[in-house]
Chain A
């Protein structure tokens, strides 16, 4: 017996969000001049139409796309949290200090092997080389004024 094709629930959810976003974009376009609103309104209308058609097609002819890759949810959330913190703390704490802390934190969550004194030392040296090296290139060679906060 063949399995019935699954509905693309994720895609339908995405299309529903697109309809809501399109409606919001259309509504806010009323604040713009005629010239300023014609393009966003056209695009918003097109997006809503495509999304409605997508939902209808997905319901009538179910064919779910390949499932997205699985994996550790907490590591994903932790990475996003660290990236967000990195982007916010740069100015307050300083580029180098924030980068060292965030680099180390991501290194810890990306590591699946058992920690040994040797691996810790190797990763520490590699991290120092990457952060220090790129910092030096951007700061001193490319003359990019990297932010300096409370620390460095």
Chain B
């Protein structure tokens, strides 16, 4: 194993303490709606400036991985993704919590996060340099197709009507065009609201579209928010482990997808978890159960978003290009520490790099006991808190969380407005998930499309640019497979039944 001799360096009492502190702090910050993994790392980065570089890296890695996992708590218990990476966790995590399996969902999320984190870290340890070169092969066109791949998930999030989901997705795509266009600089759909020039903030939109409708419905009836269908002692770890083992291929596939997407600069955990969810649903024996509280959905999303941590470090360390937004903050901190990232880092400063990677692995393993304890406490608290206190507390979190993203009051107002819009849309049968999906992926799709088109036009073949590159063709094949595989399987099953 590369750099195995540095494992002992990672196991010093100080590094272990930093790993524990990082995971706890990251998990708590990630669980608060509005506080993203990037903010968790950014807020705690100054504390690392006085440390040795390897210890500083371990602390930042632990905070990052903890924050990505922490996002699952509010996704499962409040239907509000704590971080954008946990969007897809709401699809099945919240229905599980509604039917009384919130504790199981949290434990599954913890197990999946640990597995995903370990797979990402293993790739970082073994294959960092060749995988970093792969990231460079991704151009605007590939990003465009990747976003389209994510958008195919709309069909599966449509709860009863694909057409309603498509309309919702288009609403999200149009909302994503508000503000100054990334390419060309057009000012679009801003009107007199100059505060919209920067566009709608994704985190404020997430909080509004997911959380405010839940609050509006919570306050309307005296029914408890979540209920326990059975009194179970412990963490339901045995049950969760059994489910996870049964879904080991799903876990492995999602972790690899998360690692690969994490390697792509700018893609991040939200896309990784959406793509993994889509793939898990596509190959599932019962895809119709996804979105209704299917444990496989939680396993897929949580393993892939934590795998982006290790994946994101690959281009960060090898190329000096941050794979995900928190990596950009960590990259800045590395520069402060005097570390020059680049292809020679693994040979020139191997002690620092390998100590950090082993530290990240240790932090990920520590996430299991820490995450289980915090998760159980969070679940019991949400179930036990009277509605009269829970509703204003969550409302307070939505306000302070959406403000803290950029210290901007307009984003609080955006959050409330989008929340009311989301509730009205929900009453009309248009759920939040396709809208959010369109909002997040629209920017990437448009930017990739316009850039790819301009490059193609400069070469005299705009269409060829989109359909001839090998990586693009591979992603297009996945898109086609994702769209038509369920149809094909249904036909084959029907034929099988007829033949029988």
Contact = CB atoms under 8 A, between A and B. Distances in A.
Interface stretch (B100-108, B252-260, B297-305, B398-406): B398-406
B399 A99 contact: yes
Nearest to B173: A43
Contact of A110 (B39, B387, B425, B450): B387
B202 interface: no
Contacts of A143: 43
B428 A14 contact: yes
Contact of B428 (A11, A78, A145): A11
Given A8-B429, A91-B409, A43 B415 contact: no
B440 to A, nearest CB: 14
Nearest to A126: B389
User: Which of A14, A28, A71 is most buried by chain B, counting CB atoms within 10 A of its CB?
Assistant: A14
A138 B404 contact: yes
A134 B393 CA distance: 10
Contact of B163 (A28, A57, A87): A57
What is the size category of the interface that chain A forms with chain B?
Answer: 35 or more
Contacts of A73: 220
User: Which of B184, B222, B392, B429 is most buried by chain A, counting CB atoms within 10 A of its CB?
Assistant: B392
Interface string A84-124: 10111011000000010011101101111100000000010
Interface in A53-82: 53-54, 57, 65, 68-73, 75-76, 78-80, 82
Contacts of B396: 99, 102-103, 130-131, 134
A78 B127 CA distance: 56
Contacts of A135: 400
B392 A110 contact: yes
B44 to A, nearest CB: 9
A84 B208 CA distance: 12
Interface stretch (B89-97, B211-219, B285-293, B484-492): B211-219
Given A14-B430, A99-B396, A110-B219, A84 B416 contact: yes
A19 to B, nearest CB: 9
A137 B34 CA distance: 14
User: What secondary structure prevails in chain A residues at the interface with B?
Assistant: helix
Contacts of B387: 110-112
User: Which of B183, B387, B416 is most buried by chain A, counting CB atoms within 10 A of its CB?
Assistant: B416
A53 B409 CA distance: 40
A43 B170 contact: yes
Contacts of A44: 170, 174
A11 to B, nearest CB: 4
Interface string B190-220: 0000000000000000000000100111111
B186 interface: yes
Interface in A1-53: 8, 10-11, 13-15, 17-18, 21-22, 25, 28-29, 32-33, 35-40, 43-44, 46-47, 50-51, 53
A79 B409 contact: no
A105 B62 CA distance: 39
What 5 A-B pairs have minimum CB-CB distances, sorted nearest first? Answer: A71-B220, A36-B186, A14-B428, A47-B170, A112-B222
Interface of A: 8, 10-11, 13-15, 17-18, 21-22, 25, 28-29, 32-33, 35-40, 43-44, 46-47, 50-51, 53-54, 57, 65, 68-73, 75-76, 78-80, 82-84, 86-88, 90-91, 99, 102-104, 106-107, 109-113, 123, 126-127, 130-131, 134-135, 138, 142-147
Given A72-B220, A87-B413, 20 more contacts: A10-B429, A11-B428, A22-B174, A25-B174, A32-B188, A38-B450, A40-B189, A50-B166, A69-B220, A70-B220, A86-B399, A87-B412, A90-B399, A102-B395, A110-B387, A123-B386, A123-B388, A123-B389, A127-B392, A130-B392
